Structure 1
Amino acid sequence: MDLESAILHLNKDSILKNIIQYAAVKPFTPSGNVYFDLLNSIVSQQLSVKAAETIFTRFCLLFPENYPSPELLLVTDPDQLRAAGLSRQKAAYLQNVAAYALENNIDSIEWEHYDDMEIIQMLTKIKGVGRWTVEMILMFTLGRPDVFPKDDLGIQQAIFRLYNLNTSGKDLLREMTEIAESWRPYRTVACRYLWYWKNQN
Protein backbone atom coordinates (compact mmCIF):
# COMPACT_ATOMS: atom_id res chain seq x y z
CA MET A 1 0.00 0.00 0.00
CA ASP A 2 1.37 3.41 -1.00
CA LEU A 3 0.98 5.48 2.17
CA GLU A 4 2.09 8.70 0.47
CA SER A 5 -0.60 8.44 -2.20
CA ALA A 6 -3.16 7.64 0.48
CA ILE A 7 -2.19 10.70 2.53
CA LEU A 8 -2.35 12.92 -0.55
CA HIS A 9 -5.88 11.71 -1.23
CA LEU A 10 -7.09 11.83 2.40
CA ASN A 11 -5.78 15.36 2.88
CA LYS A 12 -8.74 16.50 0.76
CA ASP A 13 -10.81 15.88 3.89
CA SER A 14 -9.98 18.87 6.11
CA ILE A 15 -10.76 17.01 9.34
CA LEU A 16 -8.51 14.08 8.45
CA LYS A 17 -5.86 16.50 7.25
CA ASN A 18 -5.62 17.99 10.73
CA ILE A 19 -5.01 14.53 12.19
CA ILE A 20 -2.56 13.46 9.49
CA GLN A 21 -0.35 16.48 10.24
CA TYR A 22 0.61 15.15 13.66
CA ALA A 23 -0.31 11.46 13.71
CA ALA A 24 2.47 8.88 13.85
CA VAL A 25 0.96 6.32 11.49
CA LYS A 26 3.64 4.27 9.76
CA PRO A 27 3.66 1.74 6.93
CA PHE A 28 3.53 -1.90 8.02
CA THR A 29 4.12 -5.26 6.42
CA PRO A 30 1.01 -7.48 6.47
CA SER A 31 1.69 -10.89 8.01
CA GLY A 32 -0.24 -12.81 5.34
CA ASN A 33 -0.93 -15.64 7.83
CA VAL A 34 -4.72 -15.69 7.88
CA TYR A 35 -5.01 -18.87 9.97
CA PHE A 36 -2.67 -17.73 12.77
CA ASP A 37 -4.14 -14.23 12.88
CA LEU A 38 -7.68 -15.61 13.10
CA LEU A 39 -6.62 -17.57 16.19
CA ASN A 40 -5.07 -14.45 17.69
CA SER A 41 -8.19 -12.41 16.96
CA ILE A 42 -10.46 -14.92 18.69
CA VAL A 43 -8.25 -15.05 21.78
CA SER A 44 -8.18 -11.24 21.89
CA GLN A 45 -11.95 -10.74 21.79
CA GLN A 46 -13.22 -8.70 24.78
CA LEU A 47 -9.79 -8.65 26.47
CA SER A 48 -7.27 -5.92 27.14
CA VAL A 49 -4.19 -5.99 24.91
CA LYS A 50 -1.98 -7.18 27.78
CA ALA A 51 -4.34 -9.96 28.88
CA ALA A 52 -4.79 -11.12 25.28
CA GLU A 53 -1.02 -11.28 24.71
CA THR A 54 -0.51 -13.29 27.91
CA ILE A 55 -3.21 -15.84 27.10
CA PHE A 56 -2.23 -16.17 23.44
CA THR A 57 1.39 -16.83 24.47
CA ARG A 58 0.25 -19.52 26.94
CA PHE A 59 -1.95 -21.02 24.24
CA CYS A 60 0.92 -21.18 21.72
CA LEU A 61 3.23 -22.75 24.32
CA LEU A 62 0.97 -25.81 24.34
CA PHE A 63 2.28 -26.76 20.90
CA PRO A 64 5.64 -27.79 19.39
CA GLU A 65 7.65 -24.76 18.26
CA ASN A 66 4.89 -22.63 19.80
CA TYR A 67 2.77 -23.06 16.69
CA PRO A 68 -0.82 -24.37 17.00
CA SER A 69 -1.03 -26.20 13.69
CA PRO A 70 -4.58 -27.06 12.63
CA GLU A 71 -3.87 -30.79 12.90
CA LEU A 72 -2.69 -30.56 16.50
CA LEU A 73 -5.16 -27.92 17.63
CA LEU A 74 -8.08 -29.98 16.42
CA VAL A 75 -7.12 -32.97 18.61
CA THR A 76 -6.11 -30.97 21.68
CA ASP A 77 -8.25 -31.62 24.75
CA PRO A 78 -10.42 -28.52 25.34
CA ASP A 79 -9.50 -28.72 29.04
CA GLN A 80 -5.88 -28.10 28.06
CA LEU A 81 -6.94 -25.02 26.15
CA ARG A 82 -8.97 -23.82 29.11
CA ALA A 83 -5.94 -24.30 31.36
CA ALA A 84 -4.16 -21.70 29.20
CA GLY A 85 -6.83 -19.18 30.18
CA LEU A 86 -9.35 -19.64 27.39
CA SER A 87 -13.08 -19.82 27.96
CA ARG A 88 -14.93 -22.94 26.86
CA GLN A 89 -16.51 -20.94 24.04
CA LYS A 90 -13.21 -19.52 22.77
CA ALA A 91 -11.61 -22.97 22.89
CA ALA A 92 -14.44 -24.25 20.68
CA TYR A 93 -14.07 -21.31 18.28
CA LEU A 94 -10.32 -21.93 17.94
CA GLN A 95 -10.99 -25.55 17.03
CA ASN A 96 -13.61 -24.37 14.52
CA VAL A 97 -10.89 -22.30 12.82
CA ALA A 98 -8.58 -25.33 12.81
CA ALA A 99 -11.29 -27.50 11.24
CA TYR A 100 -11.94 -24.88 8.55
CA ALA A 101 -8.21 -24.55 7.89
CA LEU A 102 -7.86 -28.30 7.32
CA GLU A 103 -11.03 -28.70 5.26
CA ASN A 104 -10.11 -25.79 2.99
CA ASN A 105 -6.32 -26.15 2.97
CA ILE A 106 -6.14 -22.55 4.16
CA ASP A 107 -2.38 -22.12 3.66
CA SER A 108 -2.72 -22.75 -0.07
CA ILE A 109 -5.53 -20.24 -0.64
CA GLU A 110 -4.37 -17.43 -2.93
CA TRP A 111 -6.19 -14.60 -1.23
CA GLU A 112 -5.29 -12.08 -3.91
CA HIS A 113 -7.76 -13.85 -6.22
CA TYR A 114 -10.68 -12.90 -3.97
CA ASP A 115 -12.19 -9.49 -3.31
CA ASP A 116 -12.91 -8.25 0.21
CA MET A 117 -16.57 -9.28 0.26
CA GLU A 118 -15.76 -12.78 -0.99
CA ILE A 119 -13.26 -13.22 1.84
CA ILE A 120 -15.79 -11.94 4.39
CA GLN A 121 -18.30 -14.48 3.10
CA MET A 122 -15.72 -17.28 3.19
CA LEU A 123 -14.42 -16.71 6.71
CA THR A 124 -17.64 -15.76 8.48
CA LYS A 125 -18.84 -19.31 7.76
CA ILE A 126 -16.62 -20.27 10.70
CA LYS A 127 -18.63 -20.23 13.93
CA GLY A 128 -16.99 -17.65 16.19
CA VAL A 129 -15.65 -15.49 13.36
CA GLY A 130 -17.70 -12.36 12.69
CA ARG A 131 -17.52 -9.66 10.07
CA TRP A 132 -15.42 -7.30 12.23
CA THR A 133 -12.80 -10.01 12.79
CA VAL A 134 -12.51 -10.63 9.05
CA GLU A 135 -12.29 -6.90 8.38
CA MET A 136 -9.27 -6.75 10.73
CA ILE A 137 -7.77 -9.69 8.82
CA LEU A 138 -8.32 -7.84 5.54
CA MET A 139 -6.68 -4.69 6.89
CA PHE A 140 -3.74 -6.01 8.87
CA THR A 141 -3.10 -9.56 7.62
CA LEU A 142 -3.77 -9.08 3.92
CA GLY A 143 -3.04 -5.35 3.67
CA ARG A 144 -6.24 -4.48 1.80
CA PRO A 145 -6.29 -0.68 1.33
CA ASP A 146 -10.01 0.08 1.24
CA VAL A 147 -11.69 -1.59 4.23
CA PHE A 148 -14.20 0.33 6.35
CA PRO A 149 -15.18 -1.50 9.57
CA LYS A 150 -18.28 0.55 10.33
CA ASP A 151 -19.19 -1.61 13.34
CA ASP A 152 -15.90 -0.83 15.10
CA LEU A 153 -16.72 1.14 18.25
CA GLY A 154 -13.55 3.24 18.07
CA ILE A 155 -14.27 4.25 14.47
CA GLN A 156 -17.87 5.10 15.35
CA GLN A 157 -16.83 7.25 18.31
CA ALA A 158 -14.10 9.04 16.35
CA ILE A 159 -16.36 9.94 13.41
CA PHE A 160 -19.23 10.90 15.72
CA ARG A 161 -17.04 13.39 17.57
CA LEU A 162 -14.83 14.66 14.75
CA TYR A 163 -17.68 15.28 12.31
CA ASN A 164 -20.12 16.58 14.96
CA LEU A 165 -22.81 14.02 14.24
CA ASN A 166 -25.92 13.81 16.39
CA THR A 167 -27.42 10.54 15.19
CA SER A 168 -27.26 6.98 16.51
CA GLY A 169 -27.99 3.43 15.42
CA LYS A 170 -28.66 2.89 11.73
CA ASP A 171 -28.70 6.62 11.01
CA LEU A 172 -25.20 6.97 12.43
CA LEU A 173 -23.93 4.04 10.36
CA ARG A 174 -25.47 5.56 7.23
CA GLU A 175 -23.86 8.95 7.86
CA MET A 176 -20.50 7.34 8.63
CA THR A 177 -20.62 5.35 5.41
CA GLU A 178 -21.45 8.50 3.42
CA ILE A 179 -18.54 10.40 4.98
CA ALA A 180 -16.16 7.51 4.29
CA GLU A 181 -17.11 7.36 0.60
CA SER A 182 -14.77 10.27 -0.14
CA TRP A 183 -11.87 8.31 1.41
CA ARG A 184 -12.04 5.56 -1.21
CA PRO A 185 -9.82 3.78 -2.20
CA TYR A 186 -7.88 4.32 1.05
CA ARG A 187 -10.45 3.78 3.80
CA THR A 188 -8.09 1.41 5.65
CA VAL A 189 -5.55 4.21 6.01
CA ALA A 190 -8.25 6.69 7.05
CA CYS A 191 -9.33 4.29 9.80
CA ARG A 192 -5.79 4.00 11.10
CA TYR A 193 -5.71 7.77 11.53
CA LEU A 194 -9.09 7.71 13.24
CA TRP A 195 -7.89 5.03 15.66
CA TYR A 196 -4.77 7.07 16.37
CA TRP A 197 -6.89 10.14 17.13
CA LYS A 198 -9.26 8.13 19.33
CA ASN A 199 -6.37 6.70 21.36
CA GLN A 200 -5.05 10.22 21.96
CA ASN A 201 -8.44 11.61 22.93
Structure 2
Amino acid sequence: MKIIEIERALAHLSRNDKVLSTLIKNNGICNLPTHKKYFIALLRAIIGQQLSLKAADSINRKFLAYFDNSPDPDSILSAKDETLRSLGLSKAKVKYVKDLALKVKEGEVKLKNFSKKRDEEIIEELTKVKGVGVWTAQMFLIFTLGRPDVLPVDDLGIRKAIMLNYGLKNLPSGEEIKRLAKKNGWSPFSTIASLYLWKSLDTNFETILK
Protein backbone atom coordinates (compact mmCIF):
# COMPACT_ATOMS: atom_id res chain seq x y z
CA MET A 1 0.00 0.00 0.00
CA LYS A 2 1.11 3.55 -0.65
CA ILE A 3 2.31 5.49 2.38
CA ILE A 4 -0.53 8.00 2.05
CA GLU A 5 -3.05 5.13 2.24
CA ILE A 6 -1.31 3.68 5.29
CA GLU A 7 -1.36 7.08 7.00
CA ARG A 8 -5.06 7.48 6.25
CA ALA A 9 -5.73 4.02 7.69
CA LEU A 10 -3.74 4.76 10.85
CA ALA A 11 -5.57 8.02 11.41
CA HIS A 12 -8.93 6.27 10.95
CA LEU A 13 -8.12 3.41 13.32
CA SER A 14 -6.53 5.65 15.94
CA ARG A 15 -9.60 7.86 15.95
CA ASN A 16 -12.04 4.96 16.35
CA ASP A 17 -10.24 2.43 18.56
CA LYS A 18 -8.24 3.32 21.68
CA VAL A 19 -6.54 -0.09 21.80
CA LEU A 20 -5.34 0.14 18.21
CA SER A 21 -4.33 3.75 18.78
CA THR A 22 -1.94 2.58 21.51
CA LEU A 23 -0.58 -0.26 19.36
CA ILE A 24 0.03 2.14 16.49
CA LYS A 25 1.87 4.60 18.77
CA ASN A 26 4.01 1.79 20.18
CA ASN A 27 4.91 0.21 16.84
CA GLY A 28 5.06 3.06 14.35
CA ILE A 29 4.12 2.61 10.72
CA CYS A 30 3.69 -0.99 9.54
CA ASN A 31 3.88 -1.05 5.77
CA LEU A 32 2.20 -3.66 3.59
CA PRO A 33 4.28 -4.29 0.45
CA THR A 34 2.66 -6.11 -2.45
CA HIS A 35 4.01 -8.19 -5.32
CA LYS A 36 2.77 -9.92 -8.45
CA LYS A 37 4.33 -13.36 -8.07
CA TYR A 38 0.92 -14.85 -7.41
CA PHE A 39 1.74 -18.47 -8.23
CA ILE A 40 4.83 -18.51 -6.02
CA ALA A 41 2.91 -16.80 -3.20
CA LEU A 42 0.25 -19.50 -3.29
CA LEU A 43 2.84 -22.26 -3.35
CA ARG A 44 4.52 -20.73 -0.30
CA ALA A 45 1.18 -20.45 1.45
CA ILE A 46 0.33 -24.10 0.86
CA ILE A 47 3.78 -25.35 1.83
CA GLY A 48 3.81 -23.25 5.01
CA GLN A 49 0.45 -24.39 6.35
CA GLN A 50 0.53 -25.65 9.96
CA LEU A 51 4.27 -25.05 10.23
CA SER A 52 6.29 -22.57 12.23
CA LEU A 53 7.58 -19.59 10.23
CA LYS A 54 11.14 -20.96 10.54
CA ALA A 55 10.22 -24.44 9.27
CA ALA A 56 8.05 -23.04 6.49
CA ASP A 57 10.80 -20.71 5.33
CA SER A 58 13.36 -23.53 5.28
CA ILE A 59 11.17 -25.84 3.17
CA ASN A 60 10.14 -23.03 0.84
CA ARG A 61 13.77 -22.16 0.22
CA LYS A 62 14.57 -25.76 -0.72
CA PHE A 63 11.46 -26.01 -2.89
CA LEU A 64 12.13 -22.79 -4.79
CA ALA A 65 15.83 -23.56 -5.20
CA TYR A 66 14.97 -26.90 -6.80
CA PHE A 67 12.98 -25.02 -9.45
CA ASP A 68 15.65 -22.30 -9.82
CA ASN A 69 13.34 -19.89 -8.00
CA SER A 70 10.95 -19.93 -10.96
CA PRO A 71 8.46 -22.77 -10.47
CA ASP A 72 5.72 -22.97 -13.07
CA PRO A 73 2.75 -25.32 -13.40
CA ASP A 74 4.43 -27.59 -15.95
CA SER A 75 7.61 -28.07 -13.94
CA ILE A 76 5.68 -28.90 -10.79
CA LEU A 77 3.35 -31.33 -12.57
CA SER A 78 6.32 -33.11 -14.14
CA ALA A 79 8.20 -33.40 -10.84
CA LYS A 80 8.00 -36.81 -9.18
CA ASP A 81 6.11 -37.02 -5.91
CA GLU A 82 9.16 -38.59 -4.28
CA THR A 83 11.27 -35.61 -5.30
CA LEU A 84 8.85 -33.14 -3.80
CA ARG A 85 8.66 -35.24 -0.63
CA SER A 86 12.46 -35.10 -0.39
CA LEU A 87 12.22 -31.29 -0.30
CA GLY A 88 10.15 -31.48 2.87
CA LEU A 89 6.57 -31.58 1.58
CA SER A 90 4.09 -33.96 3.16
CA LYS A 91 2.07 -36.34 0.98
CA ALA A 92 -0.93 -34.05 1.32
CA LYS A 93 1.00 -30.94 0.33
CA VAL A 94 2.42 -32.69 -2.73
CA LYS A 95 -1.18 -33.27 -3.82
CA TYR A 96 -2.08 -29.67 -3.03
CA VAL A 97 0.74 -27.99 -4.97
CA LYS A 98 0.07 -30.26 -7.94
CA ASP A 99 -3.64 -29.51 -7.80
CA LEU A 100 -2.83 -25.79 -7.80
CA ALA A 101 -0.49 -26.27 -10.76
CA LEU A 102 -3.09 -28.26 -12.67
CA LYS A 103 -5.91 -25.79 -12.06
CA VAL A 104 -3.72 -22.86 -13.08
CA LYS A 105 -2.51 -24.67 -16.19
CA GLU A 106 -6.04 -25.61 -17.26
CA GLY A 107 -7.37 -22.13 -16.54
CA GLU A 108 -9.74 -23.13 -13.77
CA VAL A 109 -7.86 -20.69 -11.54
CA LYS A 110 -6.93 -17.57 -13.51
CA LEU A 111 -4.19 -15.64 -11.72
CA LYS A 112 -3.59 -13.07 -14.43
CA ASN A 113 -6.49 -10.77 -13.58
CA PHE A 114 -6.57 -11.26 -9.82
CA SER A 115 -5.77 -7.63 -9.07
CA LYS A 116 -9.01 -6.58 -10.80
CA LYS A 117 -11.25 -8.98 -8.89
CA ARG A 118 -13.15 -8.40 -5.68
CA ASP A 119 -11.99 -10.09 -2.48
CA GLU A 120 -14.97 -12.45 -2.45
CA GLU A 121 -14.31 -13.53 -6.04
CA ILE A 122 -10.68 -14.31 -5.28
CA ILE A 123 -11.57 -16.34 -2.20
CA GLU A 124 -14.14 -18.29 -4.19
CA GLU A 125 -11.64 -19.04 -6.94
CA LEU A 126 -8.72 -19.97 -4.71
CA THR A 127 -10.74 -22.30 -2.52
CA LYS A 128 -11.32 -24.49 -5.58
CA VAL A 129 -7.76 -25.70 -5.01
CA LYS A 130 -7.29 -28.68 -2.68
CA GLY A 131 -5.74 -27.57 0.57
CA VAL A 132 -6.60 -23.90 0.11
CA GLY A 133 -9.23 -22.71 2.55
CA VAL A 134 -10.62 -19.30 3.35
CA TRP A 135 -7.74 -18.49 5.74
CA THR A 136 -5.08 -19.17 3.08
CA ALA A 137 -7.02 -17.09 0.57
CA GLN A 138 -7.26 -14.25 3.08
CA MET A 139 -3.51 -14.36 3.71
CA PHE A 140 -3.03 -14.08 -0.06
CA LEU A 141 -5.34 -11.06 -0.16
CA ILE A 142 -3.39 -9.40 2.65
CA PHE A 143 0.24 -10.22 2.00
CA THR A 144 0.29 -10.52 -1.79
CA LEU A 145 -2.43 -8.19 -3.05
CA GLY A 146 -2.37 -5.79 -0.12
CA ARG A 147 -6.14 -5.58 0.13
CA PRO A 148 -7.01 -3.08 2.90
CA ASP A 149 -10.20 -4.51 4.41
CA VAL A 150 -9.60 -8.20 5.14
CA LEU A 151 -10.53 -9.53 8.58
CA PRO A 152 -9.22 -13.10 9.15
CA VAL A 153 -11.54 -14.00 12.01
CA ASP A 154 -10.37 -17.62 12.17
CA ASP A 155 -6.69 -16.75 12.53
CA LEU A 156 -5.42 -17.96 15.90
CA GLY A 157 -3.00 -15.05 16.22
CA ILE A 158 -5.76 -12.51 15.66
CA ARG A 159 -8.00 -14.25 18.19
CA LYS A 160 -5.22 -14.40 20.78
CA ALA A 161 -4.20 -10.77 20.21
CA ILE A 162 -7.78 -9.58 20.62
CA MET A 163 -8.19 -11.59 23.82
CA LEU A 164 -5.00 -10.11 25.31
CA ASN A 165 -5.38 -6.52 24.11
CA TYR A 166 -9.09 -6.14 24.78
CA GLY A 167 -9.10 -7.88 28.15
CA LEU A 168 -11.23 -10.88 27.25
CA LYS A 169 -11.24 -14.01 29.37
CA ASN A 170 -11.41 -16.41 26.42
CA LEU A 171 -10.49 -16.51 22.76
CA PRO A 172 -13.24 -14.69 20.84
CA SER A 173 -15.32 -16.43 18.21
CA GLY A 174 -15.45 -15.23 14.64
CA GLU A 175 -18.78 -13.54 15.24
CA GLU A 176 -17.43 -11.80 18.34
CA ILE A 177 -14.49 -10.47 16.33
CA LYS A 178 -16.82 -9.18 13.63
CA ARG A 179 -18.91 -7.37 16.25
CA LEU A 180 -15.79 -5.88 17.86
CA ALA A 181 -14.51 -4.71 14.48
CA LYS A 182 -17.85 -3.12 13.64
CA LYS A 183 -18.18 -1.46 17.03
CA ASN A 184 -14.70 0.05 16.77
CA GLY A 185 -15.00 1.08 13.14
CA TRP A 186 -12.15 -0.97 11.64
CA SER A 187 -13.61 -1.03 8.14
CA PRO A 188 -12.44 -0.11 5.54
CA PHE A 189 -9.02 -0.83 7.09
CA SER A 190 -9.48 -4.20 8.81
CA THR A 191 -6.25 -5.45 7.25
CA ILE A 192 -4.22 -2.73 8.93
CA ALA A 193 -5.94 -3.45 12.24
CA SER A 194 -4.94 -7.10 11.80
CA LEU A 195 -1.31 -6.17 11.16
CA TYR A 196 -1.08 -4.31 14.46
CA LEU A 197 -2.78 -7.12 16.33
CA TRP A 198 -0.23 -9.57 14.92
CA LYS A 199 2.53 -7.12 15.75
CA SER A 200 1.39 -7.01 19.38
CA LEU A 201 2.31 -10.70 19.59
CA ASP A 202 5.72 -10.01 18.04
CA THR A 203 4.65 -12.05 15.03
CA ASN A 204 6.97 -11.62 12.08
CA PHE A 205 4.01 -11.29 9.74
CA GLU A 206 6.15 -9.83 6.95
CA THR A 207 7.53 -13.31 6.16
CA ILE A 208 4.21 -15.14 5.94
CA LEU A 209 3.78 -14.78 2.19
CA LYS A 210 6.97 -13.03 1.14
TM-score by length of 2: 0.87
Counterpart of 1:39 (choices 22, 37, 43) is 43
What residue is the counterpart of 2:208 in the other structure?
none
What residue is the counterpart of 2:12 in the other structure?
9
For residues 155-185 of structure 1, what are the alpha-carbon distances to aligned partners after superposition, in whole Å with 9 as ceiling and x for unaligned?
A: 001112222234557xx32221011121000
What SS does the aligned partner of 2:202 have? helix
Change (3 A) 1:24 1:61: same
Change (3 A) 1:185 1:127: same
Shift of residue 31, structure 1, vs aligned partner: 1.3
Q: Distance in 2 between matches of 1:103 and 1:116?
A: 22
When structure 1 is superposed on structure 2, of 176-185 and 103-112 the one drifting more is 103-112
CA RMSD of aligned residues (A): 1.8
What residue is the counterpart of 2:155 in the other structure?
152
Runs of 5+ consecutive residues of structure 1 not aligned to the other structure: none
Runs of 5+ consecutive residues of structure 2 not aligned to the other structure: 204-210
Q: Distance in 2 between matches of 1:128 and 1:11?
A: 37
When structure 1 is superposed on structure 2, of 15-24 and 128-137 the one drifting more is 15-24
1:197 and 2:194 are equivalent in the alignment: no
Map 1:100-115; keep pairs closer than 5 Å.
100-104=103-107, 109-115=112-118
For residues 120-143 of structure 1, what are the alpha-carbon distances to aligned partners after superposition, in whole Å with 9 as ceiling and x for unaligned?
A: 011001011011000000001011
When structure 1 is superposed on structure 2, of 136-145 and 15-24 the one drifting more is 15-24
Shift of residue 56, structure 1, vs aligned partner: 1.0
**Residue type of the alignment partner of 1:34:** Y
What residue is the counterpart of 1:96 in the other structure?
99
What residue is the counterpart of 2:55 in the other structure?
51
What residue is the counterpart of 1:86 in the other structure?
89
Contact residue 10 and residue 16 of structure 1 kept, 8 A: yes
What residue is the counterpart of 2:207 in the other structure?
none
Counterpart of 1:125 (choices 125, 128, 131) is 128
Contact residue 35 and residue 106 of structure 1 kept, 8 A: no
Counterpart of 1:27 (choices 25, 31, 46) is 31
When structure 1 is superposed on structure 2, of 157-166 and 102-111 the one drifting more is 102-111
Identity of aligned residues (%): 39
What residue is the counterpart of 1:179 in the other structure?
180
Q: Distance in 1 between matches of 2:133 and 2:156?
A: 15
**Residue type of the alignment partner of 1:54:** S
Shift of residue 26, structure 1, vs aligned partner: 2.7
**Residue type of the alignment partner of 1:98:** A
Q: Distance in 1 between matches of 2:75 and 2:160?
A: 40
Contact residue 25 and residue 192 of structure 1 kept, 8 A: no
Q: Distance in 1 between matches of 2:200 and 2:66?
A: 38
Change (3 A) 1:199 1:79: same
Shift of residue 54, structure 1, vs aligned partner: 1.4
Map 1:63-74; keep pairs closer than 5 Å.
63=67, 65-74=68-77
Contact residue 35 and residue 107 of structure 1 kept, 8 A: no
TM-score by length of 1: 0.91
